[in-house]
Amino acid sequence: MLLKNSYFEKAGVWPRAELDQGYLTLTRPIMNIESLEPYLLKAAEEFPEILDSCRLNSAISDAIAREECPQSFEAFRNMEVAFDGTLDSGQSGNQLDIAFSKELGIALVAYVGHGVPLIVKRYACASPDDAVDLWLKEAAQPLIFADDEEDDIERATSNLQ
């Protein structure tokens, strides 16, 4: 995802990797380890990274612990899809981790991306999707779409008539 310069200015660090375009998909609850299928739990004994998909980023977990009512938070994730201006290119490996408390009306949000400094943001909101919208407005640049050559040709020829 292309992030605004203000994101990096607040972090005091610039990205360590080239950022590509991307967009967020659906906000979904993060599955609890206890509710994983037995075969996944068995596989996790040999490959513990399987369990990473069941956990929020540790910076958000630390921020939750500092909140007034930490037990009221639920975990959500919104995965990023890479976009080259014309086509989707599949999962980028980046994500937005969200801890939302309906009781408190707040969300803690962090973009977990390759080479991107992690900043936990706190938003007053009514849902995890509202938190995503607030974060996008503050931190992300809009997608840039590639021009379609056929549209350019049509526009050019219609201007000649």
Note the pLDDT tens digit of each residue in 9-58: 888 888 777 777 788 888 888 876 666 678 878 887 888 877 777 778 88
Instruction: Give, as one character, the DSSP assignment of residue 3.
Output: B
H helices of 4-148, in order, are 5-11, 38-46, 58-65, 128-139
How is residue 8 written in tokens?
């990096």
What pLDDT was estimated at residue 24?
Answer: 83
How is residue 79 written in tokens?
């995965």
* End-to-end Cα separation, the chain, in angstroms: 41
| Token pair 């009221």 in the structure block, residue | 72
Spatial contact of 37 and 51, defined as CB atoms under 8 Å apart: no
> How many Cα neighbours within 13 Å face the side chain of 133?
7
- Give CA 22 to chain center in angstroms: 10
Q: What is the pLDDT of residues 125-135, one digit of tens each?
A: 999 999 999 99
Can you give the pTM of this predicted structure?
A: 0.77
Q: Provide the mean pLDDT of the chain.
A: 82
How is residue 150 written in tokens?
């056929």
Least confident of 13-27, 61-75, 129-143: 13-27
